[in-house]
A and B are shown apart, each in its own frame.
Chain A
Amino acid sequence: MNELIQTAREFGNKIYYSIFRHRFDNTGLTKSKIMFSNVLLHIQPVKIHKRSVKFKTTMGLGLITFYLFLILATTGILLMFHYVPSTALNADGLPDAYSRMLNLRSNVFWGGFVRNMHRWAAHGMVAFVALHMLRVYLAGAHRGGREFNWVIGCILGLLTVFLSYTGYLLPWDQLALWGVQVGTEIAKYAPGGELIRGILLGDTEVGSEALIRFYVLHVAVLPAVMGFLIAVHFFRIRKDGGLARPADTSKEKQIPDEEFGPVKNNSVFKSARSYKLVEIVKGKEPKVNEEVSQMMFAWPKLIIRELIVLLGVVAVLSLISVYFDAPLEGPANPNHPPNPAKAPWYFLGLQELTSYDGFIGGIVIPGILAGGVMVLPYLEIFLETFTRTYRKNLPGVWFARERNLENALFIGMYVFMLILIIIGVYFRGENWTIVYPWEHAAGGGH
């Protein structure tokens, strides 16, 4: 009998070790193995700087954005099982795409909830991309070898907006049609804008061709590009030396070592990371000269914290989706424009600018902002190099005194856009005249 149990255990062990290559004990070796023998965890280092898991360092903003992307992908695939990108009219006079929305809200089980999740996550992602960018800049984390990753991030941000925007058309209701109509009208002001608009819409107006193009962009092209760039973005974080931090963090208050869990038999890993080669190399690589004493095992602290963020995002988003329905208006009707016709909220700042001057507001200012922000770290380097003002760089420090001017300008830009968006969403009524939000429920823009 005992022998049988012994044999069964041996068989079980064989299966276990064919899947996991390690046990879950507290030795340093195991903690390392856990991290690098799992495809999902291996993108993270075995040892992280204590600072990285502090809330203050990142506020989890980038992570939240990434989780929202995952939720969007999941709910989006569920929605794809039901959605049809067609404007063909049904017997009741409704376009196919739109009647699918009505079905989602009524007889498709869980359909309304999944759509709500997708909608609110999309808006949330745009917002969190903006917050993440603000965090990175104010903490100076776009410098110190991370300049290129900042550019990738900016492209990702633009992609997020474009993804959200292409999805905005798909319900094919009044909100969608006219929101997209307004957005593509803005494109007309750009040189060559007519051509870009034509390629995007496949027509001179927003119609059935635009719907199928936006659909393919939304479900295939943009997510694929986005997924690839996210991978590059994450990869660069590690290759650029992990999260931005000052060279010397010994004076900072850190999470106590006990909080990272006990480590047994750690003689080898006590004062080194798992890979020692780069630590003895002199050079300008970002990974050189790491503070070995501040490094702790990523398992389990980092992973738990990441899970906490994931669960938090899911819980909050689900709660919002249970209680707030995604907007849906009447079916798209090209002959009946709502007044005012508003773009989605993240474009309302632009629409507000365009209402003053089409070319300057719709193209020049946003172009300068988007382009300028993208090359911002290089602009800083350029100015510093040519004016020979070498400053002490303090990546990872919030509101560093040396960077007060830059930070103020960056915050100013955010406040400027935010005010424009608030005016656009709440204070614009019929014929784009100023109204107070409590006087008239403004249509569109959500």
Chain B
Amino acid sequence: MIKDYGIMLLLAFAGFAVLGLSLFKSMDQDFVKYQKQYYAQLGAGDFSVEIRQVNVKTPNGNMIDRCQSCHVGASNPDAVGFEEPLAAHPVIVPGMEKDLHNFAEIGCMVCHDGNGRALKKADAHGEFHDWPAPLLVGKQAQANCNRCHAMEGGSLAGAEEYEKGRDLFLEKACWGCHTIAGISTSSQAPELTDAGGKFNFEYLVESIVEPAANQANTKMPKFDWIHDEATVEALAIYLKGQQKERLRSEESAPIGYVKPVSDVARIESPSVEAGRALFAGVAYEGSIARGGCINCHAFKNGEGDSVGGNVGPELTYTIRARGRQYVRDHIVNSRVHVADSIMPTFKDYNAAELDSLIMFLSTLGFERQASAGQQLFENYCVSCHGEKLDGRGPVSAMLDPLPRDLTRHQFVASYEERFKTSIKDGVKGTAMPPWKDILTDDQIDALLGYIESKSADASDQFVRMQVTLPKPGDVDRFKSRGKDVVVEAGDPARGYDVFQRHCTSCHGKLANGKGPNAYFLVHPLPRNLLNKEFMNQPYVTDQRLYESILLGVAGTGMPHHDDRLSDQSILDIIAFIRANTTEGTE
């Protein structure tokens, strides 16, 4: 009995002690310690410790900011040189004696983000899981100048990093794909108007450096100009500053933005120099940078070395191969030629700017005097088709359709004649240009020989079966209920049903080549059957479609269907595909 009472008393004591400890801990917070330190350092005898809360007035109400409970000396000039977190904030606008920002009114969070309600360091700095806006330290805080000051252009003292990032965004043609309201209009890539509101700084840095880190199936290339931290940080600061929620008002942030002349200056008379500047993405005679083709496209210089980005096709021969009008149309909207091109639309170029670019591109060209197939291939074909002929050249990753893998012997053996016409006339609806104006017939033959020699496999004597397209009135290969049936003309409506049953897993429900299985195929990918340019070129005959469906395409993922589809069904499918790609139909 005595023992029980003892235990009870002990536990009662322990319980009260722990509860007392909890009360003590609630009173003994970090900011209390800091404020005592601060007033001791100042030598102030009379002070009271308190939570110092700033109610930052915003259009939506009050933002609560308790940061200065610890950062107690932020706006006190006497606290210069104190230790963190007591020190005075350095002057924000360089060269000013006294800062114009009043922290008693705007608090800290407006510029530095973080969690204004918290009083513990890790909490307050947003260092916990999934906090949307962790602390922006030092220069990073320049991102938030944009919250109050209009900074779409012009210059604001103290926001150098932000401006550097803005210049990069223009110079490196990020704007070509990404929309930021007021700066660019493009639907190629995710809009970044609210990039800073949606993503934290770390995420932005990560996405710039390694686009696939957060979005596995991104189409954004890894750019080779991203190699140092300063560049990435500046760009990330700029993007972090893009927020839909703005706190702008006349009285709180009077310094605004005046549209500079350079923003409206355009190239008025076409010249090669202007084209070169556009291509390189640098300012030309007072206009701001508006181009930057070189970030994606390369060309061969005088020594035959490729310079520029590896995202789009090399442009050395493009004017000669494609002609001026084609290139011009392609810059304005590449999708009229290649349905799945990722190239941005540069539709706000004026005529002089387009002409300048064409003039610049016309100066390109590098003649390689060679007759041997290998040398020719290495000069003209390698950037897309790759050194190993496997269709994985340096620029191939972003092309759609992918360059042909020329190592597949069965494929090469199937289509000898087609190869020749493909080289001569190009393949419409793809990145393959016509080479007939650049290569002679002999050179083309030499190339063909080289390709065949690289893909030939002596042990594989592959001969493709010969089939003929059935005409209405012919007898179907398949019997119906034991009786012969006569084939009639293909019907798109029936074709739609057959297509939905047999073709969608690869070619997709819309026939755009993006079916679920397409993600598991590597090279080549299923054909986009809505690519009008491709489907309507003279070489893509009904006979060819019939062969491809019936026999499959050797060396690709396309299987044969001779055991599953009757001739009538194949004709229906062809009619369905044709109906999709005939001009004037949807």
Binding site for B on A (CB under 8 A): 89-93, 99, 102-103, 105-107, 109-113, 173-174, 258-261, 300-301, 304-305, 307-308, 311-312, 314-315, 318-319, 321-322, 328-331, 333, 336, 338, 443
Contacts and interface: CB of A to CB of B under 8 A. Distances in A.
B193 to A, nearest CB: 16
B118 A106 contact: yes
A110 B22 contact: yes
Nearest to A98: B117
A331 B119 contact: no
Contacts of A111: 26
Tell which of A103, A311, A319 has the most Cβ of chain B within 10 Å.
A311
Nearest to B20: A318
Contacts of B245: 93
A92 B116 contact: yes
A311 B11 contact: yes
Given A174-B129, A304-B5, A318 B22 contact: yes
A92 B55 CA distance: 11
B109 A304 contact: no
A106 B1 contact: no
Contacts of A321: 22
A112 B26 CA distance: 8
Given A105-B118, A110-B22, A318-B22, A304 B14 contact: no
Nearest to A111: B26
B120 interface: yes
Closest 4 CB pairs of A and B: A330-B130, A311-B11, A91-B61, A318-B18
A91 B60 contact: yes
A107 B130 contact: no
Contacts of B116: 92
B26 A304 contact: no
Contact of A261 (B1, B18, B117): B1
Contacts, number: 112
Contacts of B26: 109-113
A322 B25 CA distance: 8
Interface string B48-84: 0001010010101111101000000000000000000
Contacts of B115: 102
B121 to A, nearest CB: 12
Contact of A91 (B5, B7, B22, B62): B62
A59 to B, nearest CB: 16
A328 B118 CA distance: 12
Nearest to B62: A91
Contact of B131 (A90, A109, A330): A330
A308 to B, nearest CB: 5
Interface in B105-138: 109, 115-120, 123, 128-132
B12 interface: yes
Given A91-B62, A92-B109, A99-B117, A322 B21 contact: yes
B1 A322 contact: no
Contacts of B18: 314-315, 318-319, 322
Given A91-B63, A106-B66, A113-B25, A260 B1 contact: yes
A261 B3 CA distance: 12
28 contacts: A90-B64, A91-B56, A91-B58, A92-B63, A92-B109, A93-B245, A102-B115, A105-B119, A106-B66, A106-B120, A110-B22, A113-B22, A173-B130, A259-B3, A259-B4, A261-B1, A307-B8, A308-B4, A311-B11, A318-B21, A322-B22, A322-B25, A328-B128, A329-B128, A329-B131, A333-B130, A336-B130, A443-B129
B459 to A, nearest CB: 42
A318 B19 contact: yes
B25 A102 contact: no
Nearest to A312: B11
Contacts of A312: 11
A112 to B, nearest CB: 7
A334 to B, nearest CB: 13
B559 interface: no
Interface of B: 1, 3-5, 7-8, 11-12, 14-15, 18-19, 21-23, 25-27, 51, 53, 56, 58, 60-64, 66, 109, 115-120, 123, 128-132, 245
A319 to B, nearest CB: 5
A311 B5 CA distance: 12
B130 A92 contact: no
A300 B128 CA distance: 50
A318 B15 contact: yes
Contact of B1 (A102, A103, A301, A319): A301
Contacts of A301: 1, 4
Nearest to B7: A308
B84 to A, nearest CB: 20
Contacts of B11: 308, 311-312, 315
A99 B61 CA distance: 14
B378 to A, nearest CB: 43
Contact of B15 (A90, A92, A315): A315
Given A103-B117, A329-B128, 16 more contacts: A90-B61, A106-B123, A107-B117, A110-B23, A111-B26, A173-B130, A174-B130, A259-B3, A260-B1, A300-B1, A301-B4, A311-B14, A315-B11, A321-B22, A322-B22, A330-B128
A314 to B, nearest CB: 5
B117 A102 contact: yes
Contacts of B53: 107
Most chain B beta carbons < 10 A, residue from A93, A106, A113, A311:
A106
Contacts of A307: 8
B132 A330 contact: yes
Contact of B129 (A89, A109, A330): A330
Contacts of A315: 11, 14-15, 18
A300 to B, nearest CB: 8
A107 B119 contact: yes
Contacts of B22: 110, 113, 318, 321-322
Contacts of B123: 102, 105-106
Nearest to A444: B129
Contacts of B66: 106-107
A304 B61 contact: no
Nearest to B130: A330
B110 to A, nearest CB: 10
Contacts of A103: 117
A305 B130 contact: no
B15 A333 contact: no
Contacts of A109: 26-27
Contacts of B14: 311, 315
Contacts of B60: 89, 91
A106 B12 contact: no
Question: Interface centre among B18, B58, B62, by most A CB within 10 Å?
Answer: B18
Given A91-B60, A102-B118, A315-B18, A308 B8 contact: yes
Contacts of A99: 64, 117
A258 B2 CA distance: 10
Give the interface centre of B26, B53, B66, B129 by most chain A CB atoms within 10 Å.
Answer: B129
Nearest to B58: A91
Nearest to A53: B4
Contacts of A329: 128-131
A2 B131 CA distance: 75
Contacts of A89: 60
A107 B4 contact: no
A312 B51 CA distance: 35
Contacts of B1: 258-261, 300-301
Nearest to A94: B117
B461 to A, nearest CB: 46
A345 B189 CA distance: 39
Nearest to B132: A330
A105 B122 CA distance: 12
A307 B4 CA distance: 10
A130 to B, nearest CB: 25
B4 A304 contact: yes
A314 B131 CA distance: 33
A110 B21 CA distance: 11
A386 B206 CA distance: 69
A138 B400 CA distance: 67
